[in-house]
Amino acid sequence: MFEKTPLKDALIYRPPFFKDDRGWFTESYNKKHFEAQGINEAFVQDNRSFSKKGTLRGLHYQSGSSAQAKLVGVIKGEVFDVAVDLRESSPTFKQWYGVNLKGGDGTYFYVPRGFAHGFVVLSDEAEFYYKCDNFYNKESERGVLFNDPELNIDWKLEGDFILSEKDRELPHLKDAEYFS
C-alpha cells in the first residue's frame, strides 16, 4: 500500500483498488493506514485545480508554522508530480523526486512538511486533488524556481510551459527559505 521514494519521508500511496464491470472503487484516504506508517497529520483543507496541457504549477510551499504536508492525486488526466526536500537536517536535503500520477489508477503521493511541491500537466487537461494538514496562509507562501539548474528537474515535457507570473519570479534554490 505504501512505497518508499528516494526522498526521506515522502511516500507513494496505492490503496486497494477494486475494478469490476461497473467501474472502480478505492478508499483514497484512511487515517488508520497512515497512522500505521507513523503519519499522524490531521488533514484540514482539500484543494482541487484544473489545468491545460503544459501548465506547470510550482514549486510551492508554506514556511514556518504554516508548513503543510500534502496527499496529492489526479482525478482526471495525467501529471508529472515533483517534491523537493528543503529540510536542512534531512539526508535528502535539496534532492527531488517525481512520479507520474494518472486519474483512475488510485496512486497518491504523500509530500511531508518541509518540501516544495509542483506538477506539470502531461495530458490535454488534468484535474488535480490535494489534502493539506494546515490552512493556506498567503504571508507564508514561498517557492523555488521550477527550472533551477541546481535541481535540474526533468519535467517530462518538451516546449514552453504555461506558468503564472508568480511562478516565473520564484527564487533559485540557493536563495530559498529552508526548514531547520
Residues facing 113 on adjacent strands: none
Q: 59: cis peptide before it, omega within 30°? A: yes
Q: Report which residue type is found at 147.
A: N
Question: Where do we find the cell 482541487?
Answer: 48
Which candidate in 13, 117, 130, 136 is catalytic?
A: 130
The DSSP string of 49-95 is EEEETTBEEEEEEE-GGG---EEEEEEESEEEEEEEE-BTTSTTTT-
Active site residue 117: no
With the C-alpha atoms ordered 166, 142, 78, 122, is the resulting torsion angle positive or negative? positive
* Catalytic-labelled residue, pool 13, 33, 60, 97: 60
Q: 68 near 112, Cβ under 8 Å?
A: no
CA dihedral of residues 15, 21, 23, 24 (deg, nearest 10): -10
d(CA 78, CA 89): 33
Annotated active-site residue 60? The verdict is yes
Catalytic residue IDs: 60, 130
